[in-house]
Structure 1
Amino acid sequence: MGFWTTDSSSIGGNGVSWRIKRCWKGSGGLVKMCNSHKTEEAIAKEWLKKSRAIGLEMIFFEHTKENFDAEEVVREIANCGANTVRFAAISWKGEAQYPSKVAPMAEGLEGRDLLKEMREATNRYDIRLIVYINDLNRTLVPKHPEWVKRNEHGELMFLGDERDSKQGFCYFTCINSPWLEEFYLKVIDEIVGYEPDGIYLDCNSIPRYLGKYVCYCKYCREEFRKVSGKDIPSQKILSSSNPWKDPVALEFREWIRGRIRAFYKKVINRVRQKNPKIAVINNAGSYTSRGLGLPVEEQAKIFDGLLLEAYIRNIGAELWHAGENAKFADNLSIPVFVHAEYFSYRWRFSYCSPSELAVKIGFLIANGANPLLAEYPFHEKEGLKAVKPSYSSIKENEEFLVDTKPISSVALIYSRKTAEFYDKRDTLEKHENLFRGAYLLLSQTHTIFDVLHSDLSGEDLGKYKAIYLPNAACLDEKEIQTIQDYVKSGGGLIASYESSLFNEKCLKRDDFGLNEVMGVKYLKTKRINSGSYVEGVYMKAKESHEVTKGFHDGQLLPLPDALVITEVKKAKGLCTTIIPQPPEVSLGKESAYPSLLINEFGKGRVVYFPFGIESLYLEYRFPILRRLFDNAVKWVTQGGTLLKIETAPTVEATLRGKDSVYIIHLINYTNSERILEAPCPQEIKIEFRLPDKKKVKNIKTLSKKRIAFDESNGILRISLQLESYEGIVIISD
């Protein structure tokens, strides 16, 4: 059954005024909204939701300005199906690609105005222009050393290593220095005069991380002392394993975040005062960015759009890292770009393979993000042939891709409080590492899931069959009550390691906050293998249950070295623990420590892993752990999933929809440990249970390929062979 909801409140930010008159929410998870009006400024920024972007980075202009032909470059970009260009107007040196009265012109321009040329060319080809501006500087540092961030010894702070210092590569500017008024805002005024569609802020100087990039210049010292009466904490304190135990460090954290908010507000207001139709987009880093900078969730309430930097080969990540960032952004309130990495590892002038580009872009489409090809060296056109099929397909199928919402059975919880406080402690299992392993476990068991951020509400959780807490250690009382009510009402819960053991300030509780829900009492966390033993730790299957289905009595499964020791209350232990006995290499003795527990609380079901199953799977990819986890998901969701998929674990699936349309996205990243030279086709079988007894009116693929399907008893069965990416569109009555 669906239900009507009414809400007369206005929602939305960044100039968007929505009036929700009436919403219909059916059991399929689709929501229809009626909006009575949007502001003129909001309508002007609607293009962001349909953006297929290509980034022209300033590092390439340093070598080939004399060969840069804006008309030719924009024509090539338009031909590959892109509709947006991000063009760097201010380089990392602080030099302008146009005649500026504030910034020195880039060497070799000889009076050319590349920004004007790009604006004229993009207008001719109906391409949106986002102008890139950086806050790093080199050229003006000798004249204005007071603009530059300083370390606690008073030395200028630069980007890179000591070699860059000798070469004078580029320096970090300070947002609290005169640089903001004397340079940055004046440059923004100049750029606004070119009437771009968007301005992109790449604020490298904003302290996203702790320790290294904290500024101790006279402006920061004076301003912090003025409001607190204290000195900025030392780099040693801010770089320590737990800086937040120092109250001054916490005070400094809140102060610098306030300064960052003021900086963002001043920049955005400057743009909107001159042209409110220009979108302001910020580089938010990765979703894991933390420390002193603003969390991604908060930035989404400030800007018109964000970029998440999902570099992959360049940082040694795997292809699914793009999907991981896109899925995190899917529940934010604004359009989000995610990088589709164009180059190969650190060779930025050499594009990666067509198969790899198709998979990277596929991950973004499947999770509701806008692709931004990073970074395109304009003289290397060959790679655009690989981009064209993906971007052209997005363009042709906009009606099935824009404004869709995820339809998922499970919510994976990212706890910002745990990431910012708990993960800085000397802990054996960090939330962010376990979160990434949780993403992989869910993806490789073909569980259809969303990512939710902290500050949960009952309304957030109500549309899911289960929620998953991968060591969400820091939960406040409100969140605990919300989860407790959710499970009692019939929701499922999977939790691991020290979930709910700490409050929102990372103060350890005497027992789990969710002790009644999990049915256990916390005793201690124990490293049961110092790492010096030859043999590992195991869980031993002891009880027959749906969660241990397919495992025989006494079967051994790998465990990590750290285990939470619990006293069983109402829960039931399904596995015991085998601990190695030094210096023996033999199996070791069986202990009474339960290593897998289940519980039923109210109408809901709970599985508790008292160890980091996620980090173990992330590192080793044990198929046996994936099978166990899949059983756990099926048990806690009580069979309430719309989609069942049979294929290789390295095929990720998502389900999205709007109105009466459902889209199944499939991404095949098999054999992508190194450059994915050619696709490794996978056979896929799908069962899709249409909600509310709906019938299929039509079915098509985004690639226009034919697929085999049949429908009976409300279940649609599909079979196909997948190369890199496919989208299956199901139109119901």
Structure 2
Amino acid sequence: MNKEQAANSPWYKRTVRWGQTNLTEMDPIHCDMEWWRGYWHQNRVQGIIVNAGGIVAYYPSSFELHYRAEGLGDRDLLGDFVTAGRQDGLAILARMDINRATQDFYDAHPDWFVVNSAGVPHKVDGRYFSCINSDYYKRYIPEILKEIITKYQPDGFTDNSWTGVSRQIICHCENCKKKFKAEVSGADLPVAADWNDPIYLKWIKWSYKCRIENWDLFNDITKEFGGPDCLWLGMVNANPVGGHSSFCDLKEVGERSQIVMCDHQSRDALNGFEQNSLNGSLLHGLAGWDKIIPESMANYIRGVRSFRLGSNPPKETQLWVIEGMAGGISPWYHHIGAVHEDRRQFANLPPLMQWHEKNEQYLYNRLPVANVGLIWSQDNTEFYGRGAAEEKVSLPWHGFVRALTRARIPFVPVHADHVAKEAAQLDVLILPDLAVFTDTQCQAIRDFVEAGGSLVFTGASATLDEWGEVRSEFPLASITGIKHQYEIEGAVKNQTSDWAFYDTHNYFRLPEQRHSSLSGFEDTDILPFGGQFHRVDTGEQMKAIATYIPAFPIYPPEFSWMREPRTDIPAMLVGEHASGGRIYYFAGDVDRCYGRTHLPDLGDLLANAVKWAAADTLPLQVEGPGYLDCKLYRQNGRYILHLVNLSGTNQSPGYVEEFLPVGPIAVSVKVEGLELKHAHLKVSGVEVPLEINQGWARFQVASLNDHEMIVLE
């Protein structure tokens, strides 16, 4: 949008660069507002997040039990930030943290706090956890919101602890008892986590619902007293598996949000930097690509050990930010404390924030160009993952994410409820061992294939109903011909770190006549596997292109020979639907095994399956060395391609200490309906020759350091 349009738009449609100084209790004594105003300008921020109240108040609250920062004294630090921010024309969000309170507060209102089945209150570090169903949330916090609106008129609020205690705690306060009994068929609360107890399963769904009720309540309050654009925004973590621990329903949040505040500050050991571009794709897929999605990005040290006051290695922070921008995330710097002795952290982001400002026109109001959809749902995390979500859900999800990224295949995450809505833009759907499906979701998958779409799925996909119970019939049988025998074999025991773990020493056998998806494996007749498989009847539509070799001893080496070198047990199956859609089924959990081991052979199998299913419809080809994350967009009369160099970052733990340049990189983009003449490299600042041939735009990037954004127009 132009400057005039921006000036007349609500803050949440025009504020794309954010800053947060997460205040500590002693900051009121030492905070230098003029220094921070200079830092805001250096980072080109348009909005700031300022600590207001909840666990700690940074203003003179009129509520006696509202605990004030130890160093606050007579200072109104919230007021100082608001005044300075308004003078600099910034949007302002008041940050809350409402999940715990002091001993004095508990003594005054013990019925507002979480207790276990024996009535013992839950507390950590001397603070008591407030119950989301109590008047702490329903009456007290709304009054605090009103007070802050009256005093400071913030543009909105955000809270990173709005979901209350984690799923590990079942609150048995009187508020929860009464509410649960009234809303769940007169049932009593479950005493403990028991996945065989139907009441516990209902408590899971009810717990999500209670959080969203508070979301709606707080927004009603802020809009009533602050106006229609005064929004309350709970922070979310975009990891579709991670959010379940806090009962944050990403789909419901996305549908409600004018802007999504994402609190996902750095990579983790499993997901890597590519997680951050995925964060943008996933949240935009829920909220819409017209929404702004800022993300808190840590400048302090995170990893195996975290140091709140130490500067994160610069390139570690920078690459996380770069990946976020490639996925449509808005940058939001995050520092702990207003005064720092380790001043190196203040140099981490300004150059990137300035680049973002310079190239803002290319980073918004665009749509992804991808015809592969990776399906997910939180119900699957809950009712298939149950007590083992990392193993059952995270690993296969991550396995496909990494395989697609590594193979430079553009894809978008798609919620299982949105298949019908997204189907027109997709040629291939992937179900990464997505076992739990509702009847409606199953029908959407069948409709997709019957309309000519292709399907890649693995393991237990679609074998369980919405509560995680085994279905009497496989709901995808009509489109695949596959019938499940509901027998799982192979490495079904808990995985161990013992290198000689017998159960995982199994393989695939490749036939003499190779399917095209097994290209690249001509010099081997076997492939390492390491997982479990589902026994299925293939039917007439599908045929096995690889079979299973059972495990045999790995140690001592003298005993390491195949006891049963050949079986007729299908491990990978392919077929075509009458509509023309292609079907690829991994009976073996290749996605989970690749997510665990990152063994290249397994990643190649996954990527090859998707390429075969997509036939010649993939819109992007990128050739050259390195581990690259490639994100392609279309915007009005142009294409925009992000290339992020993740080479050398594939392993964790560790930190990025230097970028490893790669190149040359040859790029081909399938273009439709546009007469393209220029290829501008917006990081290098140069234009490269562009060749148009048979509907493909081709160009070359000589060398790639950390990232490049290419604009074709």
TM-score (structure 2 length as normaliser): 0.88
Pairs within 5 Å for 1:250-649: 250-276=201-227, 277-286=229-238, 287-288=240-241, 289-290=243-244, 293-312=247-266, 318-333=272-287, 334-345=291-302, 346-380=306-340, 381-424=343-386, 430-529=392-491, 532-533=501-502, 536-542=505-511, 543-552=513-522, 555-569=525-539, 570-581=541-552, 584-589=559-564, 590-602=566-578, 603-648=580-625
Residues 518, 384 of structure 1: alpha-carbon distance in 2 compared, 3 angstrom cutoff: farther
- Work out the CA distance in 2 between the residues paired with 1:547 and 1:124: 61
Q: Which runs of 5+ in 2 are unaligned?
A: 496-500
- Work out the CA distance in 1 between the residues paired with 2:8 and 2:391: 43
Residues 638, 571 of structure 1: alpha-carbon distance in 2 compared, 3 angstrom cutoff: same
Shift of 1:427: 9.1
Shift of 1:294: 4.3
Shift of 1:44: 1.6
Counterpart of 2:142, as a letter, is L
What residue in structure 2 maps to residue 689 of structure 1? 669
TM-score (structure 1 length as normaliser): 0.86
What residue in structure 2 maps to residue 718 of structure 1? 700
3-state SS in 2 of match to 1:547 = helix
Q: Can you list the C-alpha shifts for 1:498-530, whole angstroms capped at 9, x where unaligned?
A: 111122332312443212433322123323245
Residues 648, 510 of structure 1: alpha-carbon distance in 2 compared, 3 angstrom cutoff: farther
Counterpart of 1:134, as a letter, is D
Q: 623, 630, 644: which is aligned to 1:667?
A: 644
The answer to which of 249-258 and 512-521 deviates more is: 249-258
8 Å contact from structure 1 (residues 71, 118) kept in 2: no
Counterpart of 2:597, as a letter, is Y
- Work out the CA distance in 2 between the residues paired with 1:224 and 1:475: 25
- Work out the CA distance in 2 between the residues paired with 1:712 and 1:185: 59
8 Å contact from structure 1 (residues 45, 279) kept in 2: no
Shift of 1:43: 3.3
- Work out the CA distance in 2 between the residues paired with 1:131 and 1:425: 36
What residue in structure 1 maps to residue 40 of structure 2? 77
Q: Residue 223 in 1 paired to residue 179 in 2? A: yes
Counterpart of 2:95, as a letter, is Y
Counterpart of 1:686, as a letter, is A
Residues 87, 427 of structure 1: alpha-carbon distance in 2 compared, 3 angstrom cutoff: closer
The answer to which of 659-668 and 306-315 deviates more is: 306-315
- Work out the CA distance in 1 between the residues paired with 2:467 and 2:296: 33
The answer to which of 525-534 and 357-366 deviates more is: 525-534
Q: Residue 45 in 1 paired to residue 14 in 2? A: no
Q: Residue 152 in 1 paired to residue 128 in 2? A: no
Q: Can you list the C-alpha shifts for 1:53-104, whole angstroms capped at 9, x where unaligned?
A: 222213xx2244311022321321221222221111126xx23101110123
What residue in structure 2 maps to residue 123 of structure 1? 86
Quote the RMSD (CA, aligned, Å).
Answer: 2.7
Aligned residues: 673
3-state SS in 2 of match to 1:624 = helix
Counterpart of 1:663, as a letter, is I
Residues 690, 585 of structure 1: alpha-carbon distance in 2 compared, 3 angstrom cutoff: closer
Q: Can you list the C-alpha shifts for 1:87-127, whole angstroms capped at 9, x where unaligned?
A: 11126xx2310111012322222211111110111122222
- Work out the CA distance in 2 between the residues paired with 1:465 and 1:226: 45
8 Å contact from structure 2 (residues 20, 48) kept in 1: yes
- Work out the CA distance in 2 between the residues paired with 1:423 and 1:314: 20
4+ residue runs over 6 A deviation? 425-428
Q: Residue 703 in 1 paired to residue 683 in 2? A: yes
- Work out the CA distance in 1 between the residues paired with 2:199 and 2:273: 40
8 Å contact from structure 1 (residues 280, 303) kept in 2: no
- Work out the CA distance in 1 between the residues paired with 2:216 and 2:7: 17
Residues 320, 572 of structure 1: alpha-carbon distance in 2 compared, 3 angstrom cutoff: same
Shift of 1:707: 5.3
Shift of 1:475: 2.1
Work out the percentage of aligned pairs sharing the same amino acid: 21
What residue in structure 2 maps to residue 677 of structure 1? 657
Shift of 1:675: 1.1
Shift of 1:423: 1.3
- Work out the CA distance in 1 between the residues paired with 2:94 and 2:432: 39
3-state SS in 2 of match to 1:666 = strand
- Work out the CA distance in 1 between the residues paired with 2:625 and 2:232: 41
Counterpart of 1:668, as a letter, is N
3-state SS in 1 of match to 2:188 = coil
Counterpart of 1:350, as a letter, is G
Q: Which runs of 5+ in 1 are unaligned?
A: 1-32
Shift of 1:425: 6.6
Counterpart of 1:271, as a letter, is T
- Work out the CA distance in 2 between the residues paired with 1:700 and 1:384: 30
What residue in structure 1 maps to residue 147 of structure 2? 190
